[in-house]
Chain A
Amino acid sequence: MLSLFILLPFFCLIAVNLPVKGARRLAFWLTASLFVLQILAVLLHPSVFWGMKEDLFANFFAINFSVNNLSLVIFLTIGIVGLVSLIIGKYTLANRPDRFHFTNLLLTALIGMNALALLTDLFSMYVFIEVTALSSFILIAVQREKTALEGAFKYLIISTIASALMLSSVALILLVSGSTSFDVVSAALKASSGSVFVKLAVALFLCGPFIKSGLVPFHGWLPDAYSAAPSAVSVLLAGIITKVSGVYVLMKLVMSVFGFTPVIRDILMFAGALSIVFGALAAIGQKDFKRMLAYSSISQVGYIIIGLGCGTKLAIAGAALHFFNHAVFKSLLFTNAAVMEQKLGTVDMDKMGGLTSRMPFTGMTSLIAFLSTAGIPPLSGFWSKLLIVVALWTSGMHGYAAIALLASVLTLAYFLSMQRRVFFGKLRPGLEAVQEAGTGLVITQVALALVILGVGLGFPFMLKTLAPLKNILW
């Protein structure tokens, strides 16, 4: 019953909006349990659930769902990041109606993203990209602040371009193949691979996810949106929304529909490398904590894309792992940002200093998260970057491998300067009254830090034993 991934959030959405007393109060717990269920479904992998082939919903709408190991990674990431976002929202969104709207929109986005992980039809994918995007526009501006509205507006405008591009591409493809289902399209594209028409359609479609995932030079909207949104939403945007509707869609399409043609590989690797370097360089001089994280996201997405572009099994495994790792450490960093926003009322790094003494958990966990981002062993980020770099090197892309490696130094540079300005050293005068975050947020931070440590330390073990990782290389 794969359609449960879509149906459960849908029913949940209806349930919390029923005009029954107490339904709204249940919203948080219901949604949280939904995310937990999703995480457990992946981790425990109950065969009763995954083995049930008969799917009434899918049959009714005559659509095909398919799940592979990559989808499992996506489900897991969605579950974890969604849960984190929900918890942050509960603690940091001051206004109760806002919180309720936030939960509703989160559920909508969840429907969209889960569907994207399941679908095997171009047009349906387009529809659910839109579902996800629409909910995220509103999420950014959920508190109706001016900067957030501006960020949401930019995202909306530029996303529209993406929609237009993708929709035109779908139209072109429909002309060529007569269907939008993956199998048919894939076969048709292969049959007429030389045609300018097909090339045009593929190139147009690629640009859509590029915009969605914020690759350079399609990234203009991203820093504004990330930094203007409430931290709970930033987590969501950085961790899953842009990643699923952009990066994952790209991975899925390239792997199962378009195929690794040399042109696509060149475009992907070039865009990836450009994003890595540009994102990291731009992050270096930022004053705003969240804005720096946004540029860091651009840089890290570059790693995933460059791994995808390389196209070997090892590279794709590395890309999938980095997808997961990035979601975890970026969620942790945004949680740190949420704590600071809440406790200091600002995310301007020039107004901070020596905060580790006041907020030891936040300081330590952000240290772990940034070391993982920079790819310092034995944290999780090291392994995924290692896989990507090794894969690039062994497939002869020495230049790209070097860029990927050297950019880690830049990552280290901007995060070290962040740590120095925010957490290390003497406490800045005026910050004596700052307190550590509440228990809920501390637990979230520590749990995420433990995931980073656990994946990092356990990786050599996982590499040998964990089926999804071994079999990601389908």
Chain B
Amino acid sequence: MTQNLLFLPIIIPLAAAIICILTPRNLRPAQAMIALAATLINLLISAALWGRQISFSAPWLGIGFEFSLRLYHFSAFIMLSVASFGFLVTLYSTVFMRDRNSLGQFYAYFLLTLSFAAGAVLADNLLVLLLFWEGLLLALFGMIIIGNKSAFKTATKAFIIVGITDLCMMTGIALTGKLAGTLTMSQINLPLGGLGSVAFILLMIGAISKGGAMPFHTWIPDAAVDAPLPFMALVPAALEKLLGIYFLTRISLDLFQLNPGSWVSVLLMTIGAVTIILAVMMALVQKDYKRLLSYHAISQVGYMILGIGTAVPAGIIGGLFHMINNALYKSCLFLTGGSVEKQAGTTNLEELGGLRSRMPVTFACFVITALAISGVPPFNGFFSRELVYDGALSRGCIFYVAAVAGSFFTAASFLKLGHAAFLGKINDKNKGVKEASFAMLFPMMVIALICVLFGLYNYLPINKLIQPVLGEARLEGHDYSGFPHNITLVLVTVIVLIGALANHIFGVKRTGAGLKAVDHIHYAPGLSQIYSMAEKRYFDPYEIGMKFAQFAARIIWRIDRAIDWVYDSLLTGAAHAFSKVIRGMHTGYYPVYIAWSILGTAAVLLFALK
């Protein structure tokens, strides 16, 4: 009986999704209520399942596969987080999405995402995982496509990028299954090296692209503008990080033995460091609230990958802690963006400003989460960053420098964002803006509160949630909660943050506007050209791939035309030419025919007598 409980987090949202899509259009409030009820029940069940260890397994597909689910500490932790975000964002959506079109579809995809995410987390068989993982892609595609007019292009982009990386993951799963002789995740434990490394990298591509790391990130900023905002707050900001990092942790710690000495670890750290720097540099110059946040969603995943890639306990704990912290403050930041969009009607920073007095609660939530993401003590982001720095420094100075530089730009860009949106002079258009409704404020406040809580009482998440994931053996008796042990690192952090503030004040002094606070970086010699090329998407692997595909398509089209010409013109032309010759031979003049007959006879005789 308890085994069947495992299916509830998958089935309840699934059933609610089906009901939502079948509910008639004129019962729109009902759709929201169904979704809210389903996510609440889902949250309660996930909470009830907390702390249990349940396994389920049944033969599947009739060809030797097992449909196996496993609830244990780590999956319960991720599932509970997913359910919580699901409930809070649904509550937010009931107001935010009220007047939108395709509401039934929105809730259906939303609930499907929750269902598949729960399935992917619970899966104990790589094939089952893949099934739900691909289901997520479908829901993602649907979710983007119901956005604004240009959404179809973005949805296609997301579909192709994620589809290709999922294909890598599929290959990786096949290879892992071949190497390990089983697809049951809890039974796989492979060493790296040779084919093992190939399998790991293929699975890693699937994991980090789900997390949104470079170079698989380019659909996220586009989706931020096109897709409905609650989707952004739930999926790229929270869920995908949770799932991607969950899977990355599983393959690094359980399925494979990632150790600090291996080149795969260095590869992971490099990806993480590059992602941090490049994405945050892009975030710095954005002029749209949501687009700016989306680049941070990419940048932050770099810290997690860097942390896990270090393969030392401090780094891994930091990465996982950063995962949950980022999910919290990033979704909250997106929700504040949603409030601004809902109330002021735009997220373009050039039209915003001075909203502090009009939307005080939103501003307060923004400040808390912005401080948290910038790594200011004593908020949660500070502690996870310090752990990541600690791990990175033990593996190489360069990674530490990259992480700290990322911190500088993060702080700078949030100073710019906050200044441009909430401080300064209010735009005339926004004079009548009011605070958002309670259903939208409540989720933000809850999340902001947790940010503070996880900072002040960081032993709660670290001791209860994260350290058990690594296990006693890896920890070697250390406890990573509490204030950072390495005071030098803390000092460096504080100096960097003060530097960011100084930089901001310098920029504002120089240009006189919060929005232009980083122009001296944006238009610095050398950087400005790179920025303008990036804005033109010269560095987007998808655009490059599409250009190549179009080029290849043109060549193939030419070849195709050539083949077509052979059939359409050459062959038929030859047939007609022959036909004409043969017809010309039939003159109707009978002596000719007689001659043919006699020649034919002669030929037969010659052949027979030879």
Residues of A within 8 A of B (CB): 153-154, 157-158, 161, 165, 196, 199-200, 202-204, 206-207, 210-211, 217-218, 220-221, 223-224, 263, 266-267, 278, 281-286, 410, 413
Q: Looking at the complex, which one of B579, B597, B600, B609 makes contact with A285 (CB distance below 8 Å)?
A: B579
CA–CA, A218 to B593, complex, Å? 7
State whether A207 and B579 are in contact (beta carbons under 8 Å apart), knowing that A196-B609, A199-B609 are contacts in the complex.
no
Do residues A221 and B593 form an inter-chain contact, with CB atoms below 8 A? yes
Give the chain A neighbours of B588 by CB distance below 8 A.
Answer: 224
Shortest distance between the CB of B603 and any CB in chain A (Å) = 8
Do residues B604 and A158 form an inter-chain contact, with CB atoms below 8 A? no
- For residue B599, CB closer than 8 A to chain A, the reply is yes
Do residues A410 and B604 form an inter-chain contact, with CB atoms below 8 A? no
CA–CA, A217 to B599, complex, Å? 8
Do residues B597 and A217 form an inter-chain contact, with CB atoms below 8 A? yes
Q: Looking at the complex, which one of A202, A221, A263, A410 makes contact with B575 (CB distance below 8 Å)?
A: A410
- Which residue of A has the minimal Cβ distance to B608? A203
Among A202, A210, A211, A282, find the residue whose CB has the most chain B CB atoms closer than 10 A: A282
Do residues B590 and A278 form an inter-chain contact, with CB atoms below 8 A? no
Q: Looking at the complex, which one of A207, A220, A278, A281 makes contact with B604 (CB distance below 8 Å)?
A: A207
Do residues A281 and B601 form an inter-chain contact, with CB atoms below 8 A? no
- For residue B100, CB closer than 8 A to chain A, the reply is no
Give the chain B neighbours of A284 by CB distance below 8 A.
Answer: 575-576, 579
Do residues B576 and A210 form an inter-chain contact, with CB atoms below 8 A? no
Additional A-B contact list (8), CB under 8 Å, known A199-B608, A410-B575: A158-B593, A158-B597, A217-B600, A281-B578, A281-B579, A281-B582, A282-B579, A283-B579
Do residues A267 and B608 form an inter-chain contact, with CB atoms below 8 A? yes
Do residues A220 and B596 form an inter-chain contact, with CB atoms below 8 A? yes
- For residue B398, CB closer than 8 A to chain A, the reply is no
Do residues A203 and B604 form an inter-chain contact, with CB atoms below 8 A? yes
CA–CA, A132 to B596, complex, Å? 24
Give the chain B neighbours of A154 by CB distance below 8 A.
Answer: 590, 593
Shortest distance between the CB of A317 and any CB in chain B (Å) = 26
- For residue B586, CB closer than 8 A to chain A, the reply is yes
- Which residue of B has the minimal Cβ distance to A264? B608
Give the chain A neighbours of B597 by CB distance below 8 A.
Answer: 158, 161, 207, 211, 217-218, 220
Do residues A206 and B593 form an inter-chain contact, with CB atoms below 8 A? no
Give the chain A neighbours of B599 by CB distance below 8 A.
Answer: 217
- For residue B553, CB closer than 8 A to chain A, the reply is no
Q: Per-residue CB proximity of B567-610 to A under 8 Å, as 1/0?
A: 00000100110111011001010101110111111001101110
* Chain B interface SS verdict (over half): helix
Shortest distance between the CB of B492 and any CB in chain A (Å) = 79
Do residues B596 and A218 form an inter-chain contact, with CB atoms below 8 A? yes
Q: Looking at the complex, which one of B578, B594, B604 makes contact with A267 (CB distance below 8 Å)?
A: B604
CA–CA, A21 to B456, complex, Å? 129
CA–CA, A185 to B601, complex, Å? 22
- Which residue of A has the minimal Cβ distance to B582? A282
Give the chain A neighbours of B583 by CB distance below 8 A.
Answer: 282, 285-286
Shortest distance between the CB of B496 and any CB in chain A (Å) = 76
Give the chain A neighbours of B607 by CB distance below 8 A.
Answer: 203, 263, 266-267
Do residues B586 and A223 form an inter-chain contact, with CB atoms below 8 A? yes
Shortest distance between the CB of B178 and any CB in chain A (Å) = 41
Shortest distance between the CB of A222 and any CB in chain B (Å) = 9
Among B580, B593, B594, find the residue whose CB has the most chain A CB atoms closer than 10 A: B593
- Which residue of A has the minimal Cβ distance to B605? A203
* Contact residues on B (Cβ < 8 Å of other chain), bracket: 20 to 34
Q: 23 A-B residue contacts at CB 8 Å?
A: A154-B590, A157-B590, A158-B593, A199-B609, A200-B609, A203-B604, A210-B604, A217-B596, A217-B600, A218-B596, A218-B601, A220-B586, A220-B593, A220-B596, A221-B593, A223-B586, A278-B582, A282-B583, A282-B586, A283-B579, A284-B576, A285-B579, A286-B583
Do residues A207 and B576 form an inter-chain contact, with CB atoms below 8 A? no
Give the chain A neighbours of B600 by CB distance below 8 A.
Answer: 207, 210, 217-218
Give the chain B neighbours of A207 by CB distance below 8 A.
Answer: 597, 600-601, 604-605
Do residues A221 and B608 form an inter-chain contact, with CB atoms below 8 A? no
CA–CA, A218 to B578, complex, Å? 19
In the complex, which residues 203-259 of chain B have their Cβ closer than 8 Å to any Cβ of chain A?
Answer: none
Give the chain B neighbours of A157 by CB distance below 8 A.
Answer: 590, 594
**Which 4 pairs between the two chains have the least Cβ-Cβ distance?**
A220-B593, A203-B608, A285-B579, A284-B579
In the complex, which residues 277-310 of chain B have their Cβ closer than 8 Å to any Cβ of chain A?
Answer: none
- Which residue of B has the minimal Cβ distance to A221? B593
Residues of B within 8 A of A (CB): 572, 575-576, 578-580, 582-583, 586, 588, 590, 592-594, 596-601, 604-605, 607-609
Give the chain A neighbours of B575 by CB distance below 8 A.
Answer: 281, 284, 410, 413
Give the chain B neighbours of A161 by CB distance below 8 A.
Answer: 594, 597-598, 601
CA–CA, A410 to B601, complex, Å? 28
CA–CA, A283 to B578, complex, Å? 11
Give the chain B neighbours of A153 by CB distance below 8 A.
Answer: 590
- Which residue of A has the minimal Cβ distance to B597? A218
CA–CA, A207 to B601, complex, Å? 6
Shortest distance between the CB of B267 and any CB in chain A (Å) = 55
Q: Looking at the complex, which one of A200, A266, A283 makes contact with B605 (CB distance below 8 Å)?
A: A200
Shortest distance between the CB of B274 and any CB in chain A (Å) = 58
Give the chain A neighbours of B578 by CB distance below 8 A.
Answer: 281
Do residues B593 and A204 form an inter-chain contact, with CB atoms below 8 A? no
Shortest distance between the CB of B568 and any CB in chain A (Å) = 12
Do residues B601 and A220 form an inter-chain contact, with CB atoms below 8 A? no
CA–CA, A410 to B596, complex, Å? 24
Do residues A202 and B608 form an inter-chain contact, with CB atoms below 8 A? yes
Give the chain A neighbours of B609 by CB distance below 8 A.
Answer: 196, 199-200, 203
Give the chain B neighbours of A263 by CB distance below 8 A.
Answer: 607-608
- Which residue of B has the minimal Cβ distance to A222? B593
Give the chain A neighbours of B608 by CB distance below 8 A.
Answer: 199-200, 202-203, 206, 263, 267
Shortest distance between the CB of A168 and any CB in chain B (Å) = 11
Do residues A220 and B579 form an inter-chain contact, with CB atoms below 8 A? no
Give the chain B neighbours of A202 by CB distance below 8 A.
Answer: 608
CA–CA, A191 to B526, complex, Å? 102
Do residues B586 and A165 form an inter-chain contact, with CB atoms below 8 A? no
Shortest distance between the CB of A406 and any CB in chain B (Å) = 10
- Which residue of B has the minimal Cβ distance to A156? B590
CA–CA, A204 to B607, complex, Å? 12
Give the chain B neighbours of A203 by CB distance below 8 A.
Answer: 604-605, 607-609
CA–CA, A154 to B591, complex, Å? 9
Give the chain B neighbours of A199 by CB distance below 8 A.
Answer: 608-609
CA–CA, A199 to B586, complex, Å? 32
Give the chain A neighbours of B596 by CB distance below 8 A.
Answer: 217-218, 220
Give the chain B neighbours of A158 by CB distance below 8 A.
Answer: 590, 593-594, 597
Give the chain A neighbours of B572 by CB distance below 8 A.
Answer: 413
CA–CA, A283 to B582, complex, Å? 9
Among A158, A161, A217, find the residue whose CB has the most chain B CB atoms closer than 10 A: A217
Shortest distance between the CB of A201 and any CB in chain B (Å) = 10
CA–CA, A100 to B44, complex, Å? 101
Shortest distance between the CB of A161 and any CB in chain B (Å) = 6
CA–CA, A410 to B592, complex, Å? 26
Shortest distance between the CB of A82 and any CB in chain B (Å) = 28
CA–CA, A339 to B593, complex, Å? 31
- Which residue of B has the minimal Cβ distance to A279? B582
CA–CA, A467 to B598, complex, Å? 42
Do residues B579 and A165 form an inter-chain contact, with CB atoms below 8 A? no
Give the chain A neighbours of B594 by CB distance below 8 A.
Answer: 157-158, 161, 220
- Which residue of B has the minimal Cβ distance to A208? B601
Shortest distance between the CB of B515 and any CB in chain A (Å) = 67
CA–CA, A153 to B589, complex, Å? 11
Shortest distance between the CB of B378 and any CB in chain A (Å) = 81
CA–CA, A267 to B610, complex, Å? 13
Give the chain B neighbours of A283 by CB distance below 8 A.
Answer: 579
Shortest distance between the CB of A34 and any CB in chain B (Å) = 35
Give the chain A neighbours of B590 by CB distance below 8 A.
Answer: 153-154, 157-158, 220-221
- Which residue of B has the minimal Cβ distance to A207? B601
CA–CA, A282 to B578, complex, Å? 8
- Which residue of A has the minimal Cβ distance to B586? A223
CA–CA, A207 to B598, complex, Å? 9
